[in-house]
Amino acid sequence: MSSDLEAVRRARVGILISGRGSNMVALADAVREERIPNAEIAIVISDKTNAAGLNKAKERGIETLVIERRGRKREEHDREIVAALKGKDVDLVCLAGYMRMLSREFIEAYRDRILNIHPSLLPAFPGLEAQRQALEHGVKTSGCTVHFVDETLDGGPVIAQCTVPVHQTDTVESLSARILVEEHKLYPETVSFVLRQIANKE
């Protein structure tokens, strides 16, 4: 029986990082400020012990976990990550500077429930050093993309994009900084949108 008094379950978001974690912070802050309503960050998992984002998560009172690859196969490593996410009852997985491709098993376990943010207007410039690729191609506009993760490298369906101008005087650093400002807005907005879609389906 449902009643108005019944507590609505908060959507549980798991975030995977490998590095500095600024997008993770943007998501955590948006959850705290209810710009991503009715959600909580259930866990932040890093595949690197020295990821700077781990401390930023801890400072925000978010549970963290390091799951290193330690020479294991991708499938085995991913199995441990999926088990940790399932153990925390995670509904949506957000990759935020997570520097590894996911195995098919991981993608199947969270089909249509894994998002990634990438610093280019996909399908242009997938993979590493997207901003450098953009500069080398001489594009006049670049930006960032949030997309569903599938088996391809940065190739899953696009959900949202934001553009930024590329100036003639830009360096990789200046273009990356301009894009990052937009990443920090686009990712929370998109997570909020996707969680609303999921809630409407349930």
Of the residues 15, 82, 117, 162, which one makes contact with ligand GRF according to CB under 6 A: 117
183 binds ligand GRF (CB under 6 A): yes
> Interface with ligand GRF by CB under 6 A: which range of 1-9, 39-47, 58-66, 111-119?
111-119
What CA–CA distance (Å, rounded) separates 117 from 34? 20
Q: How far is the CB of 6 from ligand GRF (least distance, A)?
A: 36
List the structure tokens of 3: 């009643």
Active site residues: 118
Q: According to CB under 6 A, which residues from 150 to 169 bind ligand GRF?
A: none
Three-point CA angle 78, 187, 161, nearest 5°: 110
Q: Contact 19/176 with Cβ under 8 angstroms?
A: no
> Interface with ligand GRF by CB under 6 A: which range of 15-23, 37-45, 82-90, 188-196?
15-23
Q: x/- binding map, residues 64-103, to ligand GRF, per CB under 6 A?
A: --------------------------------xx------
Sequence-distant (≥ 6) Cβ neighbours of residue 125 within 8 angstroms: 133, 134, 137, 142
Site residues (vs ligand GRF, CB under 6 A): 17, 19-23, 53, 96-97, 117-119, 180, 183
